[in-house]
Chains A and B, each alone.
Chain A
Amino acid sequence: MGAEKKNFSPYQRPKRNNNISSSSGAGDTRSGAGDSIDPTGTVVIFVTGRSDMPSLANDSGLYDFLNRKASPMKLNITSKRTNEMSGVMSFVVGDFAQARVLRNLSGIRYKGQKLSIKTSVDDKIASSTGDSGPSQRPSAPPSHGTIDAMRNFMRSRYNNGFLNLENMTQDSILRAAKIIPPGQTRGRSDVGTVMMKVAAELFPETTTISFAMNGIRSLQPISAVSIYFPNLQNLSFKGNNIQYFRDLEYLSGKKLPHLKELILLDNPVRDRDLAKNNDDLSYRSSVLRLFPSIVMLDQVPVTNKISFGLGDILKDDLPEHAVLPAQIKGNFFDNAGTEATALEFLASYLKLFDTNRRSLEHAYDMNATFSLQTMTPISPLQKRKNQAADNWAGYISHSRNLSKIKDLDLRVKKMFYGSKSVVQDGLVTMPETKHDLSDASKFCVDAWQTGGLLPGVCIYICLHGEFEELHHGAQGLMKSFDRTFIIAPAPPGSSAAMNGWKCLIISDQLTIRGYNGSEAWQPELALPMIAGANGVPSAVTTPQVPMPGVSAEQHVKAQELQRLTGLNYPYALQCLTASGWDVAKGVALVEGNRANIPADAWQQPTFS
C-alpha cells in the first residue's frame, strides 16, 4: 500500500543503555522499554524534518538553532549522530529538563521544515507537562480528594459535548479543594494534564472546550488536550494572556487534526498584530499556518488569502516575492507541509509556464508523463461567457480525450513521455498564456500527500483556474482549466534540484475547458472536515426535535441545509420556506446571495 505518512515514528526509540546505533535501521532499534535514560543520566533526543524535503543530516546549523530556541536553558549536546537511512538526527543532552524544553519545541520550523522532536523520555514528559519554571512546585501524585474535587468540577462544567473551563480561578469547587488552575505560576505543573485526563475519563465525547478568561500565557500547561481529546473540534482561548504565536505551537499542526474552530479574541498575540498591521490578514495567516484544519477563526469563516515568499528559489526568474494566491477556504490541504510545498511549487511552475516554458524541462522527471484534453464549450452559458471567436486549434491536435480517441496507437502517441518530449513536443507548442497569480480568487487547489510509487512521498495536486491566451503578446481569449500534478521530492543532484526545484513532476494532466469563471469556488462553503458520518457539529445549537409548526421531514431538510451551507436553524427554515422546501434550491439560494445574508444567520459557536 505505502500510503502511510513518512513522518517520524516513535518506534525509532533506542534500546536502553544504547544510544542510536547508526549502523542499524529503525526496525531493530525498537524497544518496548519506555524508559531509556542513559545510565549516565543523559537523554536521547531525535530530530527529524520532513522526509520529502532535503535531509537535515549533517546540518550543524540546526544545533545552533535549537540552542537559541531553548534559551535561556543551556543545552549540553553530545553524541551527535545522523541515521542516513531514516534521516533522523539524534543526540544526547544532559538532563531531563533540557529534554523537556526540546520536546516542547517540536513542531517548530527550521529552514522551512517543521521539526519533529521526540525524546527517549517522552512518556515522562507527558505525565509531567507544565511550566518547568522554577516557581513550580515539584509534582507529587495528586491526592484522591483532589481528583474527586476535579471530577465534581468537570461535572459542573460539562453540557452536551461542551466543556466550559472558563474563568477557573474563580471556581468555588476548585478553590475549596485548593486546586490552582493550569497556567497560574503558583500551581502544580501537572494540573492541566491531570484535569484533561479526568475530563476525558468522564466526558470522552467532548467536542468543544473553552479555556476563556484563565490568564493563560501559553498553551503549554494545557497541551495534554491533544492527548486526551484528539478529536476535539472547537477550542476557545478568548480573553487570555497569550503573547506570541509560538505560545500556540503546543497544540498546532496535526496535534488536533479535527479542529475546526479556534477563538483567540482578546489576547495580546492578536491585538498587537492587528494594531501593527492595521488589519488582521497577517495575524490570520499566521494562525492558519499553525492550525491548518480550522474553518472558523475568531468567529469569522476562514477566507483570508495567504502569500509566501519563495525565498531564494529560482531567484533569477521570479520576482522577489512570488505570490501564489492561496485562498484557503475552498482549498483543501491535508496538512501545512503539503500546503506550503504545493503552493510553492505551483507559484514557480505557473510563473515559468507563462514566461519561460522551455526552462520547465528541469521540473519534470526524466520519466514524467504529460497529456492534455480539451472540453470545448457546450452550454449556452459557456458560449455566452466566451468570446465569439473562441479558438481551440492550439490544443485540439494534442487532445487525448479517451471518450473520443479510440485508436490505441493514437492514445499512446498523444501521451508525452519524458521531460524533453513533455516540454518540447507538448508544452511549448501550445499558445502562450498568462495566469493571473495576483488574484487568489481565480484559483482553487486541493492537495494531498501520500506514500508514493518511489521510496518517499508524493503530493497529488488538483488545481482549477483560468488563464489568458496571448497571441504574439497581444491579449487573447480566456480559458478555464483543471490540472492534476503528481510531484515528488527532487533527488539531490538531479537536474531539478540543481535548478532550484524542491520537487519534480512525475505526472501532469491538463484539461482545458471553455471559460466559465471561478464562481464555483467563490461562495465559500463552510464545509468542515467531516470525520465519519457525524454531520452537524454538536457545538451548533440545533433543536433535537422539530420546532412547533415544523414537520419531521422539514426538520430533517433544515438540518441538511445547515450542514451544507453553515446557516443556523432559524435561517435554514426561512430559506427552505422561500425555496419550496427543496434543499438543493435552498443551497443555490444561499450561495447566490451569500453577500446579502446577515451575519447572525450563520452558525455561531456556543462560546459566550
Chain B
Amino acid sequence: MAEATAIAQQFTEYYYSTFDTNRSGLQPLYRETSVLTWEGAAIQGGKAIVDKLVSLPFTSVQHRVSTQDAQPVGDMLVIAVTGQLLIDGEQNPQFFTQTFVLRRDDAGFYVQNDFFRLVYG
C-alpha cells in the first residue's frame, strides 16, 4: 500500500506537469476505453479526451495540488485530488477536484476513469 501511495504521487506529479507544459503529451495515459467526465460532459477514448483538453480555452495553465489521497482497490488505484488552477497568468486561482481511477496493462498504469469538476473558490 505504501507503494501504491508512491505511485499515486508520481502519477499526479507527472500528470499535472505534463498538462501544464504539453497537454497533448497526456494521450499515452489514456486508452480507447478511458472516459473523462469533465464538468458533466463525458468524453471517451484517448484521442477525444486529449482533443478536449487541448481545446480548453486558455493558453497557459498551472495546476497546484493542495491535497491528494489514494487507495488501492483490487487491481485499481483510486486517486482523489484537490487543488488550484491558475489560468493564463491570472492571480486568482480556480479550485478544482479530480478523481482518477488508474488501472494497469502491459504498458503500465493508465487512466480508466477521470472525473473533473471546478468547485470555484
Contact = CB atoms under 8 A, between A and B. Distances in A.
A533 B49 CA distance: 9
Interface string B31-54: 001010101111111011001100
B89 to A, nearest CB: 12
Interface string A374-413: 1100110110000000000000000111111000100110
A509 B65 CA distance: 17
Could you tell me the dominant secondary structure of chain A's interface residues? mixed
A531 interface: yes
Interface stretch (A8-16, A203-211, A517-525): A517-525
Contact of A484 (B2, B33, B99): B99
A256 to B, nearest CB: 15
B85 to A, nearest CB: 11
Contacts, number: 174
A210 B101 CA distance: 40
Interface of A: 1, 3, 329-332, 334, 369, 371-375, 378-379, 381-382, 399-404, 408, 411-412, 415, 444, 446, 448, 450, 452-454, 460, 462, 464, 480, 482, 484, 486, 506-507, 509, 511, 513, 516-517, 519-521, 525, 527-533, 535, 560-561, 564, 583-584, 587
Contact of A382 (B8, B88, B103, B121): B121
Contacts of A525: 39-41
Nearest to A527: B41
Given A334-B42, A402-B8, A584-B88, A450 B113 contact: yes
A452 B33 CA distance: 14
B65 A1 contact: no
Nearest to B76: A453
A480 B33 CA distance: 32
Could you tell me the dominant secondary structure of chain B's interface residues? strand
Interface in B60-111: 65-76, 78, 80, 82, 87-88, 92-93, 95, 97, 99, 101, 103, 105
Task: Name the interface size band of chain B.
Answer: 35 or more
A412 B2 contact: yes
Contact of A530 (B47, B52, B113): B52
B65 A403 contact: yes
B119 A482 contact: yes
A462 to B, nearest CB: 4
Nearest to A533: B51
Given A530-B41, A560-B57, A401 B120 contact: no
Contacts of B93: 379
A447 to B, nearest CB: 9
Counting from the closest, the 5 A-B pairs by CB-CB distance are A453-B74, A527-B41, A408-B2, A583-B57, A401-B67
Contacts of B95: 379, 513, 516
Contacts of A446: 37, 40, 115, 117
A482 B113 contact: no
B57 A564 contact: yes
15 contacts: A334-B42, A371-B71, A402-B69, A402-B70, A408-B5, A444-B40, A448-B37, A448-B115, A462-B99, A482-B80, A482-B82, A511-B80, A516-B121, A521-B40, A533-B52
Contacts of A415: 1, 71
B5 A402 contact: yes
A379 B37 CA distance: 26
Interface of B: 1-2, 5, 8-9, 33, 35, 37, 39-45, 47-48, 51-52, 55, 57-58, 65-76, 78, 80, 82, 87-88, 92-93, 95, 97, 99, 101, 103, 105, 112-113, 115, 117-121
B58 A584 contact: yes
Contacts of A382: 121
Contacts of A517: 120
Given A372-B69, A399-B67, A403-B67, 13 more contacts: A375-B67, A379-B92, A400-B69, A412-B1, A448-B35, A450-B113, A460-B99, A462-B115, A486-B78, A507-B73, A520-B118, A532-B45, A587-B57
Contacts of B67: 373-375, 399, 401-404, 511
A287 to B, nearest CB: 19
A161 B71 CA distance: 46
A519 B120 CA distance: 7
Nearest to A525: B39
A402 B52 CA distance: 29
Contact of A506 (B39, B73, B120): B73
A367 to B, nearest CB: 9
Nearest to A486: B73
Nearest to B38: A527
B40 A530 contact: no
B73 to A, nearest CB: 4
B121 A509 contact: no
A296 to B, nearest CB: 14
B117 A464 contact: yes
Contact of B71 (A331, A507, A529): A507
A381 B40 contact: no
Given A329-B40, A402-B8, A525-B39, A484 B103 contact: no
